[in-house]
Structure 1
Amino acid sequence: MYFVIFKLEKDKKIRVGKLGEIDFKKGYYVYVGSAKRGLNKRVRRHMRKDKKMRWHVDYFSVEANFVDAFKVGVNECELAKLASSLMEGIKNFGCSDCKCKSHLFYSENYPEKFVNEVKLNYGKIERLDYEELRGTS
């Protein structure tokens, strides 16, 4: 399981597949997800701007800037539950295959409190190496 942090530089209306147009505020967004195999490949997909739109996060990630990615040893729905206690969820985003209300969460500033709470509640988390993900190291 993992979470990715994105930054949106300005308020923006984005069409997100079947969810339709969503008004996103300037700031940081945390997306929680799972990649049972190929975590780095999945995160690299979130970093790319040129891709076929498949998931809700694809529509968002082409408009936002990739900031950070973390590998964690806890279920994505548990992460979403923690995130929802600290940040505003984007209704129905990224959670069509579970009962969560959202898998994308908004924070005006870098979500340091969320990162720290994940460490506190679930132990070790691993920040993924940006250069390695980009394939430059």
Structure 2
Amino acid sequence: MPKNRLKGTYCLIIQLKSQQNIKIGRLGEIDFKRGYYVYVGSALNSLKSRLERHLKDDKKLFWHVDYLLNNPDANVEDVVFAVSDEKWECSLAAHISKEGSEIHAFGCSDCKCPSHLFYFQDLEGSKRICLESFEKLGLKPLDLSDLERL
């Protein structure tokens, strides 16, 4: 498979620098605490392009996470991902939900999960659970430093 067509599952680790009430598409207004959020997603077409899109500041608001990332106090602190032809998004979200507080209905309009966004108070805890969750599923976690090699 050509490198630009790699498939995979990812976690965006997002810092929100202040408490915010943010309108998230059709979900409406959601109160977000100051802290860190893990968003679980997948790209079954082009993983690198999807991750690069999430990291851009200027983009059309399409997915729930776009609305969160559009807030000037929100930024992607890190990305953890794995290359795989299988869709691990829901399994990964289930693992992360054991430690994070879910933001109800966020990012899961195409599945039966309660959420694909989870709140954590600190960066270390959010990154640790991401890495552990990928490993529990038998996936090799990669991070932002690996993105250029894709």
Q: TM-score scaled by structure 2?
A: 0.81
Counterpart Cα distance in 2 of 1:108 and 1:131: 26
Partner SS state of residue 111, structure 2: coil
Counterpart Cα distance in 1 of 2:113 and 2:144: 25
The match for 1:98 is 111
Counterpart Cα distance in 1 of 2:90 and 2:147: 28
The match for 1:113 is 128
Identity of aligned residues (%): 45
Amino acid at match of 2:51: V
Amino acid at match of 1:34: S
Change (3 A) 1:121 1:59: same
Task: Name whichever of 120-129 and 58-67 sits farther off.
Answer: 120-129
Change (3 A) 1:10 1:95: same
Partner SS state of residue 129, structure 2: helix
Change (3 A) 1:131 1:77: closer
Report how many aligned residue pairs link the two structures: 133
Task: Name whichever of 46-55 and 113-122 sits farther off.
Answer: 113-122
Counterpart Cα distance in 2 of 1:66 and 1:112: 12
Counterpart Cα distance in 2 of 1:128 and 1:37: 19
Q: Does the CA contact (< 8 Å) of 1:48 and 1:62 recur in 2? A: no
Q: Does the CA contact (< 8 Å) of 1:14 and 1:23 recur in 2? A: yes
Change (3 A) 1:17 1:6: same
Indicate which of 60, 69, 75 corresponds to 2:88. Answer: 75
Counterpart Cα distance in 1 of 2:13 and 2:49: 16
The match for 2:76 is 66
Partner SS state of residue 14, structure 1: strand
CA-to-partner distance for each residue in 1:78-133, whole Å, 9 max, x for gaps? Answer: 01101111100100000000000000110000113303422541242111328839
What is the root-mean-square deviation of aligned Cα atoms in Å? 1.9
TM superposition outliers: structure 1 runs of 4+ over 6 Å: none
